[in-house]
Amino acid sequence: MSRPRTFLESWSRRSAPERFDTYTRGSLYFLSAFEPFFALSILGAEPTFDRDLVLPWLVVVVAHTIACVALLRAGISQFLGGPPVRPWLGTAAVVLTVALVVVAVPTFPVGDGDEGAVAGRFFAVLLGVMPLLAAASPLLLFRHLLLAALGATLFTVGATVATAAAVGTDPSRTSTFAGVAVFMGLATFFMAVGIVGSYRVSIWMLGVVWEQDRTRVLHARLAVAEERLRFSRDLHDVFGRTLSVVAVKSELAAELAARGRPGAEEQMLEVRRIAQDALREVRAVVAGYRSADLGAELAGARSVLRSAGITTTVHGDETPVGQEAQEALAWAVREAVTNVVRHSTATTCVITVHRDGGSSVVEVVNDGVPATARAGRGSGLVGLAERLEGAGGALETWVDDRRFGLVARVPDPRPDRPSTQPERTASA
């Protein structure tokens, strides 16, 4: 029975978009869930409150927090292409916001001449409005969010003015309350714009990251589909005309044989010759597809990696000595690029071709390697190592600081060492 993975192991196995998604969602949920602690800080800073109504107010605050976090979660899911938000969820958040404001007003009473209680009621009312705006940020357009922020500002100014009227201050303090109302209104507006804007921008960035990841995967699939299309087109061009000729001559031979005329045997021998020629052509196409050319592989690697959204740099133009080294190093480039696309979350890849003494060397280095990755050898790398050993070379791999390196080395051919390349024949 395998042991359960630790948090760090599970985290290291996640892709970059998954990590960014977890970090962004967690940050937004944490900020929204902090509402009860703000409520406690209001109680600690404002000594004037109704102790009998504190517990109901805190209960409504907790329920309001849960509803806003649930609405925010559903809104993010809808923004990223998931199911739409259920109407009852938004209704519950709005109803709890109204209930929170209604309960907050008597919880923080304002008596005659008690101007200090205005701030407590102001923040208690604000505590119900701001989380609702933040939770609704994924569901509304920017202009709608600005209108909501403006509405919250007007509501705060009106509540402050109404509170000032209830205090019953003398005319000499009217200007002071007017200034307080304007200040609180501006504070509400800028807080609403800042909070809602930061929520909306974070969610928008999350959508951009997932869209880039989907585009990267799509480009990689298109590159594979394009290669398959090229191969099928080559087979069609080689085999199409030949099979048409074989069909025509076979029908002619059958017609001559049916009528007892001479020439059927000659036509069938011609069909055999054409079939042998077609077999040689197909083998040539397959051999060209299976063989590897270093220049073509470097160009293909640059195209495939860039299509997958990976910044690719190729250094060096040294040509390996010998056809055997050319093909072996070309296979190394092909295998390395395949591993980069399939098994990493790389953003950059550097391919270097150079000479090292009497050897030709190809080095492929990419980032995006999981922290728990090791320089082991999968089946593809084992096959590549065997191919390089057949050419007298060697394969090295390393992992360092979330980077993976593959170094393929093939020595120059010696005159006394026979070639290990199999001789291709065209026999039927």
pLDDT digits (tens, 9 = 90+) for 304-342: 787 667 888 888 765 665 677 788 888 888 888 878 877
3-state secondary structure of 388: helix
What's the CATH architecture for 222-290? Up-down Bundle (1.20)
> Which token pair is 22?
């977890």
User: Nearest Cα to 118, choosing from 67, 179, 35?
Assistant: 179
| Sign of the four-CA dihedral 354, 357, 361, 366 | negative
Q: What is the pLDDT of residue 426?
A: 34
User: Nearest Cα to 385, choosing from 326, 345, 336?
Assistant: 336
Please state at what angle helix 16-32 crosses helix 174-259, rounded to 10 degrees.
150
d(CA 374, CA 22) in angstroms, rounded, equals 25
Of the spans 157-161, 171-175, 307-311, which averages the highest pLDDT? 307-311
- Beta bridge partners, 407, equal 363, 396
Task: Quickly count: other Cβ atoms within 10 Å of residue 240's Cβ.
Answer: 10
d(CA 88, CA 17) in angstroms, rounded, equals 31
Domain boundaries, the chain: 13-217, 222-290, 294-411
Task: Quickly count: other Cβ atoms within 10 Å of residue 196's Cβ.
Answer: 23
d(CA 357, CA 425) in angstroms, rounded, equals 35
User: Nearest Cα to 149, choosing from 196, 115, 83, 84?
Assistant: 196
Please state at what angle helix 174-259 crosses helix 294-307, rounded to 10 degrees.
140
Domain 294-411 = CATH 3.40.50.800: no
More confident residue, 98 or 108: 98
User: Nearest Cα to 409, choosing from 358, 344, 340, 351?
Assistant: 358
> Which token pair is 340?
């980069």
Alpha helices in 108-173 (DSSP H): 117-135, 142-167
pLDDT digits (tens, 9 = 90+) for 185-206: 777 788 877 888 888 888 888 8
Percent of the chain surpassing pLDDT 90 = 9
Average pLDDT of the chain to the nearest whole number: 77
Task: Quickly count: other Cβ atoms within 10 Å of residue 334's Cβ.
Answer: 19
**The residue to which tokens 């869930």 are assigned:** 33
More confident residue, 109 or 427: 109
Alpha-carbon 343 to chain mean position:
14
Q: Which phi-psi region, left, alpha or beta, contains residue 351 (left: φ > 0; alpha: ψ -120 to 50)? A: beta
Confidence grade of residue 62 (pLDDT, cut at 50, 70, 90): very high
- What is the DSSP-derived secondary structure letter of residue 395? E
Rg over alpha carbons for the chain, rounded to the nearest Å, is: 37
- CB-based burial of residue 421 (10 Å sphere; 0-12 exposed, 13-18 middle, 19+ buried)? middle
Please state at what angle helix 117-135 crosses helix 16-32, rounded to 10 degrees.
150
Least confident of 28-37, 45-54, 109-118: 109-118
The count of residues in the chain is: 428
Exposure b/e, 37-74, CB count within 10 A at least 16 = b: ebbeebbeebeebeeebeeebbebbebbbbbbbbbbbb
> Which token pair is 92?
């519950």
